[in-house]
Amino acid sequence: MSNHFSIIIQDENGVKQFNLHQIIKKLFFGVFFFLVFIMIFGVGMILYLNHSVDEIEEKLAEKKNELSQVSDSLSEIEMLIGLSPPDDMTLQERVSIAKLSSEHMATLMQFIPSGSPIEYNGINSNFGYRVDPVSNRREFHLGLDLKARMNVPVYATADGIVEVAKFDGKSGYGNLVVLQHNYGFKTYYGHLNKITIQAGKFLKKGDLIGYSGNTGLVSGPHLHYEVRFIQRVLDPVEFVKWGGQNYTDIFDKEKGVPWQSLIAATAHIKVPVPTQKQPVLKLSQN
C-alpha cells in the first residue's frame, strides 16, 4: 500500500498534482479535528460561564436584597435607641455602633428601675398632691397606686439588694419592701399582702418580691410604688413607661436625674445576661 496520496489542483494554467505523504494527511485531519474540538469545547465553556454568571447575578441580587432588609431593620433599631449615623457610614460600622448602644441600653435598664412591677392594669392615684382616701386630707402622694387585686405577683424593676422587707406600721405602708439599686436609686413597694424575700438578699430585675394586698393605711387592695434618687422622690410614671421603644424619652421628661453623667459613667459597663423579658404587660400611655 502506498504511503503517499495526491492532491490535484486545476486552474487556468493547467493541472497541477501534488503528492503528499500519509503522515501529513493524518496530521492535517488531526489538526482539523483538534480545532473542531476546541470550538465545541469553547462553545460549551461559554454556555457554562453564561449560566454561572446568571446564577452569580441572581445570588448577588438576593444578597443585595438581604442587605437592604438588614439596613432597614438596623435603621429601625437606630431610631429606637436614638442613633443618627452619617450617610457615608458603612453597614458594618453602623452595626458595631448599634451593638454598643443596645448593650448600653440593656445595662441601664437592668440597673435602673424600668417597667411596671406588676401586670399593668391602670393607676388608682398618681404622684403629687391629692386628697388622701383614708385621711380625707390634701397630702403629697410620694408614688403611684397601681391597680391590683389581692395577691398579684410583684417583681423587682431593677437589679438591687433588699434594704427593707417587713411590716411598717408607722408609715402606713403596711408590708413594705425597699430595694437599693445602683447609682443612687431606690424603689418602694407598699401594702403587700405577702413578702417573699428577706433583707440583705441580692435580686435580679424581674425577681419575685411579694404579692399585692391591702396592709397598712389603705382603702382597698393595690400596689404603692415609689422611685427615689438620692432620697429625692421622683414621679414613677416615666420609669414605669420606660422600655426599649421609648428608650430616650425619659432623658427629656425626668429632669431629677443627671442622665448625661450617668450615661457617661456606665458607657463601658456590660451586663453579661440581661433580663430578656419583663413579667408585665405593655403599659398604656395614659
| CA separation, residue 11 to residues 7, 8, 14, 19, 265 (Å) | 13, 10, 5, 17, 102
**Three cell numbers written together for 190:** 407598699
Residue 270 has pLDDT above 70, yes or no: yes
Distances in Å between the Cα of 180 and the Cα atoms of 32, 97, 164, 183, 255 are: 93, 31, 9, 9, 21
Instruction: Kindly tell me if the per-residue pLDDT of 78 is higher than 90.
Output: no
Give residue 35's pLDDT band: very low, low, confident or very high (50, 70, 90). confident
How do residues 129-146 score in pLDDT, each as one tens digit?
887 776 677 889 899 999
In the chain, what are the helix, strand and coil shares in percent, each to the nearest 5?
A: 35, 30, 35
Answering whether pTM is above 0.75, one says no
pLDDT in tens, 211-229: 999 999 888 999 999 999 9
d(CA 199, CA 222): 23
Contact assessment for residue 261 and residue 178, using Cβ atoms and an 8 Å cutoff: no
- Tell me what the pLDDT averaged over the chain comes to: 81
| The C-alpha cell that represents 33 in the structure block | 479535528
**Cβ neighbours of 265 (radius 10 Å):** 11
Question: How distant, in Å, are the alpha carbons of 34, 37, 40, 278 from that of 49?
Answer: 22, 18, 14, 55
